[in-house]
Structure 1
Amino acid sequence: MIWPFWSGRKLLALPGRTPAELVDYFRDTRHPVASLLVVVPLLALYEATVAGISADGRASPRNGADAWIRNLVPELGQSSTHLPPLVIIVVLTILVMPRWRDFPSRWGTLCFGLVAECLGWSLALWGLSLGWPGIVKNSGVELSWFDRAAPQFASLTPLIGAGIYEEFLFRLVALGVLNGLASLIGVGGLAGWMVAAVVSSWFFGAVHHWGPQGQQYSALLFSFRFFAGLGLCFLTRYRGFSIAVGTHFLYNLIIGLRPMFATP
């Protein structure tokens, strides 16, 4: 990724030094191996934290999307413990296989760029949430997960999982399936993808209010999640699944850590 700084008449670029590196970076973030680069460490952190908390006898703080996936296969019992993360890794690995010849060559640029770009998009999303009429002040968005008086690392666990499981479920699986269905009924190309993005984003916003564990319905919360879901769909299509996962994770982290640094 190119970071330009003027020094006299010379243009300095850090860490990328040529336009070719910028082109490579924008291509590499869409490579499935970049998704594995982001997903695997977050998945390991999430599962290890959940396992540690559960081992202490406390309730498992799994993310909602993770719990939904596990509830789809309750008959598997304990054998389903490792199934969801395994499915995610297997799917991403399968997507890597057709493109194993064009692996990213500039790993340093890719890693630095992923962190910087995801942080930028997450801050933009946070800014949008702050500007949404009363959404953070009155509804808290994801703050219902936290004990505001004494937030703990364990409280961040569901937010780590959200960036992985919700993106996998709504932006990779649902979006892909709906796009395929749209093509089957004759709505192909960008129009079909747009229909799929709208429908998957509607489900993304609505599902948080379903069931006994769902949040009380709020038009502000639903509309924010709907438009955030659309934005993440566009990130997945044009910037790659890796950027969507990283953005969702860092946004949740910003929201989650905010009470820890809030002043009375």
Structure 2
Amino acid sequence: MERSGGYWTSCRGASAALLMVLPLLAIYEGGIAALGGDVALRAGVDAWIGRLTPDRFRVPDWAPSAVLALGIIAWRIAEPGRFRVRWLPVAVVECVVLGAGLLTMFRGFDHWFEGKGGALPMEMTSQLALDWNPCEWIGLVGAGIFEEAVFRLGLLGICYAVLRVLHMPNVLATAMAVSGSALVFSMAHHVGEVPGAFSWSTFVFRWLAGVYFAWVMIFRGFGIAVGTHLAYDLLVVVDPWAG
């Protein structure tokens, strides 16, 4: 028999992840296929998976999406909690609000750093705002899905489990897993960067963003974390508070 809970509780479960993430995966893979199927269209983490796979174990480019989809379906089967379709608009609004919260944190960090005599090398404007490049939009969808899957659903959970096995208290294990996974998240964004392009301000903000997404994952679940990540990226693109 399925457990029935309210919106706040149900959002954290597999049913919400199924209804929120699987359509985004379909949009991502469908968009790539419609644009020619070039592997260069794939988001960073998704592309890394393909590059890191040995040639003798080469799999189709869409395999990571298929594995993630099957994992969510298996999670849904194992966890009977139900998220109702009529709650989806509320979840979208929540993701936008949480995304706007991170954007507000970015702007506050930017202003603080500028007051210290510096400037973040990450501008709030984007080329997307100028040409609405569909390839870039598809990349944003993929980034929201796979970065949350790898760094929050995967790395955050593994770090927490290892620390608990080592008998670390729950609160400390959670805090260290959040901070550590966020640190790796920030470091990953600098992989392949042009020599000399590294900036501590950018690194620190990305770490803070990783911490933010991790707490969203813990308190609101994987579906909301993916939606928040995507909402933040889209808000950066449309830049509603620039000026």
Q: Secondary structure at the match of 2:168?
A: coil
Q: Quote how far apart the aligned CAs of 1:147 are.
A: 6.0
Q: Deviations over 1:176-199 (max 9, x none)?
A: 111111122221422212111111
Report which of the two structures shows the higher radius of gyration computed on alpha carbons: 1
Could you tell me which of 221, 229, 243 is aligned with 1:240?
A: 221
The total of aligned residue pairs comes to 235
Q: Give the direction of change, closer, same or farther, for the CA distance of 1:197–1:262 in structure 2 (3 Å limit).
A: closer
Q: Quote how far apart the aligned CAs of 1:98 are.
A: 2.4
Q: Deviations over 1:109-146 (max 9, x none)?
A: x21220111111011111111121258974236867x3
Q: Quote how far apart the aligned CAs of 1:149 are.
A: 4.6
Q: Give the direction of change, closer, same or farther, for the CA distance of 1:253–1:76 in structure 2 (3 Å limit).
A: farther
Q: Give the direction of change, closer, same or farther, for the CA distance of 1:215–1:93 in structure 2 (3 Å limit).
A: farther
Matched, 1:139 2:121: yes
TM-score of the superposition, structure 1-length normalised? 0.79
Q: Deviations over 1:189-212 (max 9, x none)?
A: 222121111110000011111125
Could you tell me which of 158, 166, 187 is aligned with 1:206?
A: 187
Q: Give the direction of change, closer, same or farther, for the CA distance of 1:49–1:230 in structure 2 (3 Å limit).
A: same
Match of 2:93 in 1: 116
Matched, 1:34 2:16: yes
Q: Give the direction of change, closer, same or farther, for the CA distance of 1:122–1:151 in structure 2 (3 Å limit).
A: same
2:205 and 2:143 mapped to 1: Cα distance? 16
Q: Secondary structure at the match of 2:93?
A: helix
- Supply the RMSD in Å over aligned alpha carbons: 2.9
Query: Percentage identity across aligned positions?
Result: 29
Q: Deviations over 1:63-90 (max 9, x none)?
A: 1111112222142676331210011112
2:90 and 2:175 mapped to 1: Cα distance? 27
Matches within 5 A, 1:176-255: 176-211=157-192, 216-255=197-236
Match of 1:64 in 2: 44
**Do 2:155 and 2:181's aligned partners in 1 also have CA atoms closer than 8 Å?**
yes
Q: Give the direction of change, closer, same or farther, for the CA distance of 1:214–1:80 in structure 2 (3 Å limit).
A: farther
**Do 2:156 and 2:178's aligned partners in 1 also have CA atoms closer than 8 Å?**
yes
Match of 1:81 in 2: 61
**Do 1:209 and 1:215's aligned partners in 2 also have CA atoms closer than 8 Å?**
no
**Do 2:32 and 2:138's aligned partners in 1 also have CA atoms closer than 8 Å?**
yes
Q: Is there any run of 5+ residues in structure 1 with no aligned partner, and where?
A: 1-20
Q: Is there any run of 5+ residues in structure 2 with no aligned partner, and where?
A: none
1:215 and 1:143 mapped to 2: Cα distance? 22
2:82 and 2:93 mapped to 1: Cα distance? 21
Q: Secondary structure at the match of 1:140?
A: coil
Structure with the bigger RCO (C-alpha within 8 Å, sep 6+) is: 2
Q: Secondary structure at the match of 1:41?
A: helix
- Counterpart of 2:202, as a letter, is L
Q: Deviations over 1:17-60 (max 9, x none)?
A: xxxx9x701111011110111111111111122222235xx672
- Counterpart of 1:257, as a letter, is V
Matched, 1:153 2:131: no
Match of 1:54 in 2: 36
Q: Give the direction of change, closer, same or farther, for the CA distance of 1:141–1:201 in structure 2 (3 Å limit).
A: farther
- Counterpart of 1:107, as a letter, is V
**Do 1:142 and 1:252's aligned partners in 2 also have CA atoms closer than 8 Å?**
no
1:183 and 1:214 mapped to 2: Cα distance? 38
Q: Quote how far apart the aligned CAs of 1:213 are.
A: 7.2
Q: Secondary structure at the match of 2:40?
A: coil
Q: Give the direction of change, closer, same or farther, for the CA distance of 1:232–1:174 in structure 2 (3 Å limit).
A: same
**Do 2:120 and 2:201's aligned partners in 1 also have CA atoms closer than 8 Å?**
no
Could you tell me which of 78, 82, 87 is aligned with 1:103?
A: 82
1:127 and 1:157 mapped to 2: Cα distance? 24
1:141 and 1:160 mapped to 2: Cα distance? 20
Q: Quote how far apart the aligned CAs of 1:99 are.
A: 1.9
